[in-house]
Amino acid sequence: MIRAFHTFPRGFLWGTATASHQVEGDNRFNDWWDWERQPGRIAEGHHSGKACDWWGGRWQEDLDRAAADGQNAHRLSIEWSRLEPEPGRWDSSALEAYRSILQGARARGLSPILTLHHFTNPAWLNGVGGWPDPATPARFASYVRKAVEALQDLVDTWITINEPTVYAYAAYSAGAFPPGERNIGRALQVMRNLILAHAMAYHTIHEIQPQAQVGLSHNYRGMAALHAWHPLERFLAGFRSRVYNDLIPMAVHDGRLRFPLRRETMPQAARTQDFLALNYYTCESVAFDLRARGELFGRSVYPPGSDVSPTGFIANRPEGFWQALVWARRFRLPILIAENGIEDQTDGIRPRYLASHLRQLWRAVNFNWNVRGYLHWTLVDNFEWERGWTQRFGLWELDPSTQERRRRPSADLYAQICKANGLSSEMVAAFAPEAFDSLFPQRGPGAVAFEPPA
Ligand code: FCB
């Protein structure tokens, strides 16, 4: 058997990523709490409920798990609605609770990366106009000021807003997130306000903490025509990709907003990233479909024969991760992989997904591209938004009714990777033998196909 070791740079960050609403539980003051109680909003009528009970203190045992498995970083988010449950009323006990979690992470050797907005808002925000309202970026910035002033001694890496494009689309065009609007014009307006909010947050954080590292997390999703010969599909794939993948990253890079029918200059948004936080899950093909008006007439599909996750949500496309890295590199910033993972209750795909994605990441670090770390989504199964508990992204399985955790084989694989600071052929042979030949191809005389251990 061929033997190889894909090593990562010294000091590389290995960890997992979580988001407040998905793990904390009892988030009564945010816009999801009531939304989850409206019929038809969440798959199978699920609720976040206690989630992973982090607010009840189970963050301690979960961060113990992360640290024991060799991780040295953790990405988490804080809830604006806990800090400011009513407009202008600040709850210092919530800040204290977050201080304990951040101190706990650091005490375990996990460098915290803190997200300030991960899809949820205080419930009161929609009542005053929500994200389409021109005053909301300043509302967000005043929350950011409170948070950063109180937490700056514990955090030096901040992600202002998670996946602004996904949020704007899901909440204002697809209607899947609260407030459930279906209006693409409003979604574009929200994207604009999210860029302004990010820019204000960026400048606010640097004013308080000049040496801070501040970024924005982008969900990159490669898009190609389903039929390469189809000119309309090729046009649509390119058009959708420019809106989905490029619009916000370009605006925070050069301060120019390139909406399909309108251009605008926003000098305050230029150069407002100290690093590029990249979330990558999959890539898609675009099929022309006149019924898909809200998606600009392109329906997103996975080509027949794709290696898909149990609910069909994610296709295992490691080459798309490479494409995402090539895309990210053109911004000439340090890159942090802020999310990557797959939903997989039985852990049948996850080991090969993990190994084959890390293989692509290794190609990048092997060229000395400035990649700082990899944060797997996620540590323990959590509440997956409108998909409720139907999708399981955890290295650890969770039974939300008992709070019992069970280790999946992927947790063992990831622990070996983190501890060794790299991926070895032995790990792949043991955890994902079916992917061995594609990860370690042998060519030429004497090459033998890999035989999985009996
Ligand atoms: C990302 C979100 C994260 C999680 C994963 C599966 O888009 O940022 O909260 O739901 O998808």
- Cβ partners under 8 Å of residue 19, min gap 6: 76, 77, 115, 118, 119, 162, 382
Question: With a 6 A CB cut-off, is 166 part of the ligand 1 pocket?
Answer: yes
Which DSSP string do the residues of 344-412 spell out, in sequence order?
A: -TT-SSHHHHHHHHHHHHHHHHHTT--EEEEEES-SB----GGGTTS----SEEEETTTTEEEE-HHHH
Ligand 1 centroid – CA 269 distance (Å): 25
Question: With a 6 A CB cut-off, is 219 part of the ligand 1 pocket?
Answer: yes
Residues 190-246: tens digit of each pLDDT: 999 999 999 999 999 999 999 999 999 999 999 999 999 999 999 999 999 999 999
What is the pLDDT at residue 162? Answer: 99
Question: With a 6 A CB cut-off, is 23 part of the ligand 1 pocket?
Answer: no
Question: With a 6 A CB cut-off, is 32 part of the ligand 1 pocket?
Answer: no
* Phi, psi at 75, each rounded to 5°: -100, 125
Query: Could you tell me what percent of the chain has a pLDDT over 90?
Result: 93
Residues 93-112: tens digit of each pLDDT: 999 999 999 999 999 999 99
* pLDDT of 438 over the 90 cut: yes
Ligand 1 centroid – CA 453 distance (Å): 35
What is the pLDDT at residue 416? Answer: 98
Pairing of strands 13-17, 5-7: unpaired
- Cβ partners under 8 Å of residue 137, min gap 6: 193, 196, 197, 199, 200
447 pLDDT tier (thresholds 50, 70, 90): confident
More confident residue, 404 or 2: 404
- Cβ partners under 8 Å of residue 182, min gap 6: 172, 173, 174, 175, 294
Least confident interval from 288-297, 304-313, 379-388: 288-297
Ligand 1 centroid – CA 192 distance (Å): 21
Ligand 1 centroid – CA 227 distance (Å): 29
296 pLDDT tier (thresholds 50, 70, 90): confident
The preferred substitution site among 340, 381, 385 for testing ligand 1, maximizing ligand atoms within 8 Å of CB, is 385
Extract long-range pairs of 425-433: CB within 8 Å, 24+ residues apart: 425/1, 425/2, 425/3, 425/4, 425/5, 426/3, 427/355, 428/355, 429/1, 429/453, 431/351, 431/355, 432/351, 432/352, 432/354, 432/355, 432/356
Question: With a 6 A CB cut-off, is 393 part of the ligand 1 pocket?
Answer: yes
What is the pLDDT at residue 454? Answer: 61
Residues 78-94: tens digit of each pLDDT: 999 999 999 999 999 99
CA angle 118, 70, 332 (to 5 degrees): 55
**For all residues of the chain together, what is the average pLDDT?**
96
Per the structure block, which two tokens stand in for 401? Answer: 């009714």
Report the alpha-carbon distance of residue 68 to residue 118 in Å, rounded.
27
Question: With a 6 A CB cut-off, is 385 part of the ligand 1 pocket?
Answer: yes
Ligand 1 centroid – CA 161 distance (Å): 12
Question: With a 6 A CB cut-off, is 115 part of the ligand 1 pocket?
Answer: no
Residues 8-61: tens digit of each pLDDT: 999 999 999 999 999 999 999 999 999 999 999 999 999 999 999 999 999 999
Using an 8 Å Cβ cutoff, are 49 and 400 in contact?
yes
Per the structure block, which two tokens stand in for 16? Answer: 């997992």
What is the pLDDT at residue 441? Answer: 87
Ligand 1 centroid – CA 117 distance (Å): 12
